[in-house]
Amino acid sequence: MGAGASATNCETLPIDRPEAQTFVPILEQSLDAMKRSRVLTPEQRRELRKALEQGSKMYETIISAAPQHQAELKNIKKEQMIAFQEIYAAVYKNKVRTDPNFETFIETCTEISKQVEGKNIDQTCSNDVRGLIELYEKGAVPLLNEFTILLKKMAKETGAKQIPSGSLKKLPRALEKIMFEPGPSKGNSSICRDVLRGMIIYEDMYSLTNGLEFIRNHPAWELVRVKNRFDSPTDGGWADCLLNVVKKSDRNCHVAEIQLVHEILYAARKNMGGHRDYHEYRCANELVANVNANSAQANGGNGTKTDKLLAHLERQHIEARAASKKDFKLLKELKRQIEGLKDLQAQFASLKKKQAQLESDSDAAMNTENYDKAEEIDVELNTLKNEIKKYESFINLPEKFLEENGMQQNLMGQVNKENTLTQPNTVVKNELCKLTPKQRLDAYEARMEEINLNR
């Protein structure tokens, strides 16, 4: 039974579910059409947009069911992970880490990582599932030929084992990836930075280092991010180095990915087979991460004192906006407090997500007997946990957070009740027409609650 089965009571992976057949073929046909003509027709684009929305609904269903099957998902992840770990860890420990140029590669990679840290990796597309259309149509597809030229030149000049070509990520997998993204970025197409991708295989760490230097010094392509998994393998044991690059002349700032792979690890993966097993592992792993992130976000939001205060301030903000006589000082202060509390929740969720990642990296380091790395992660984890404690205190006492950040409190009494509760119906309707349906409903509920409190 696959990971999709555990989370959704269906004996297939998500992409093989019956309802997936209503949109997966359209995604595949759309990608083929873009490869042929680069630009979709209006009708093709409408059809693709509808298919993406159908797919996102299916993944929402899977995600919502995942917490009920968390134990099963973890078991699937563990079973499949052990199979990969046994092979990858042995190869990594006995062949890769013993390479005489391994440490040189790590040092070079660390140096370059620091140089590119903080560079802009935002892509030009809408931040929902429909943004995938822009990523492919305006970003990846037009750059495919130039990217392939880059890869071939890089491979030839740095001693790669084979001459690669650029490729496009399958659209169904791209949708799955952004929908399974943990936390607030779920469904945001701009996080998919490997739509345009290529793999270069090297026989040793010396050649891998040459690959790094080639990209660092390239005049037309800019290196914007480095993810060195040779220094910190995945919890499945896999190790490689991921480079994100941007064509300097590209107005869309499309982010492509170059994967630097050691030949012996690639051979191990190729000989291992079990492609479906890997998909099951990946699906279970992503769903578990999603459940954990949602739990962490809930700890920083739903049901906490911060969440309750935030809901109260948002109701007050809606009432103040609907008033006939606007108190702009009040509106600005309410907005400032709301944004401050939302930022607090986002930072807390981000720290918890980072903690989960570090704990996973620590397990991977221990599995590969990289004790220096494990010790380094342990120090970072302890520092992070202290920071999380500070944020937890603010989550539990949001008034203290507002006070320490110089924000006014007890604004409820400043709302002009005469304006919000007793003004003529025509004025109320005119003001509420400026709000969204959800805001109008919230304003109505807030007024009813206020009336009930004053009875």
The span from the CA of 418 to the CA of 322, in Å, is: 12
Last residue of a domain, one of 291, 317, 337: 291
Clarify whether residues 18 and 45 are in a common domain: yes
Query: Quick one: pLDDT band at residue 264, thresholds 50, 70, 90?
Result: very high
Clarify whether residues 189 and 253 are in a common domain: yes
pLDDT average, residue stretch 121-131 = 85
Per-residue pLDDT at 221:
98
Inform me whether the pLDDT recorded for 158 exceeds 70: yes
Q: pTM of the predicted model, to two decimals?
A: 0.67
Identity of residue 44: Q
The span from the CA of 138 to the CA of 23, in Å, is: 22
**Pair of tokens at residue 441:** 């409903």
Clarify whether residues 331 and 284 are in a common domain: no
Of 258 and 182, more confident: 258
Tokens 């040793």 locate to 204
Range with the poorest average pLDDT among 6-15, 93-102, 283-292, 363-372:
6-15
pLDDT average, residue stretch 160-179 = 95
Clarify whether residues 116 and 254 are in a common domain: yes
Query: Quick one: pLDDT band at residue 403, thresholds 50, 70, 90?
Result: confident
Torsion of CA 340, 344, 345, 348, to 10 degrees: 170
Clarify whether residues 269 and 329 are in a common domain: no
Nearest residue to 226 via CA among 116, 108, 121? 116
For the chain, percent of residues with pLDDT exceeding 90: 42
Got the DSSP string for 184-252?
A: GGTT-GGG---SEEEEEEESSHHHHHHHHHHHHT-SSEEEEEEEETTTS--TT----EEEEEEETT-TT
Domain tally, the chain: 2
Clarify whether residues 321 and 401 are in a common domain: yes
Q: Which domain holds residue 26?
A: 3-291
Per-residue pLDDT at 306:
84
pLDDT average, residue stretch 395-406 = 86
The stretches of 66-124 forming alpha helices (DSSP H) are 70-91, 102-116
Query: Quick one: pLDDT band at residue 13, thresholds 50, 70, 90?
Result: confident
Query: Tens of pLDDT along 286-328?
Result: 888 888 776 655 554 455 788 778 878 877 887 788 777 888 8
Clarify whether residues 244 and 262 are in a common domain: yes
Inform me whether the pLDDT recorded for 65 exceeds 60: yes
Last residue of a domain, one of 291, 325, 360: 291
Clarify whether residues 264 and 367 are in a common domain: no
Q: What residues form DSSP beta bridges with 26?
A: none
Per-residue pLDDT at 296:
57
Inform me whether the pLDDT recorded for 332 exceeds 60: yes
Clarify whether residues 165 and 219 are in a common domain: yes
The span from the CA of 59 to the CA of 182, in Å, is: 13
Q: What integer best gives the mean pLDDT of the chain?
A: 83
For the chain, percent of residues with pLDDT exceeding 70: 84
Per-residue pLDDT at 177:
95
Per-residue pLDDT at 367:
74
pLDDT average, residue stretch 205-223 = 97
pLDDT average, residue stretch 241-262 = 96
Burial 52-78 (b: 16+ CB within 10 A, else e): bebbbebbeebbeebeebbebbbebbe
pLDDT average, residue stretch 354-359 = 84
The span from the CA of 434 to the CA of 430, in Å, is: 7
Per-residue pLDDT at 451:
40
Per-residue pLDDT at 327:
86
Clarify whether residues 287 and 313 are in a common domain: no
The span from the CA of 180 to the CA of 176, in Å, is: 6
Per-residue pLDDT at 429:
40
Last residue of a domain, one of 237, 257, 291: 291
Per-residue pLDDT at 410:
52
Clarify whether residues 310 and 279 are in a common domain: no
The span from the CA of 197 to the CA of 279, in Å, is: 19
Inform me whether the pLDDT recorded for 170 exceeds 70: yes
pLDDT average, residue stretch 428-443 = 48
- The CATH number that applies at residue 225 is 3.30.460.10
Clarify whether residues 67 and 209 are in a common domain: yes
Got the DSSP string for 394-421?
A: HHH-HHHHHHHTT-----GGGS-HHHHH
The span from the CA of 77 to the CA of 291, in Å, is: 14
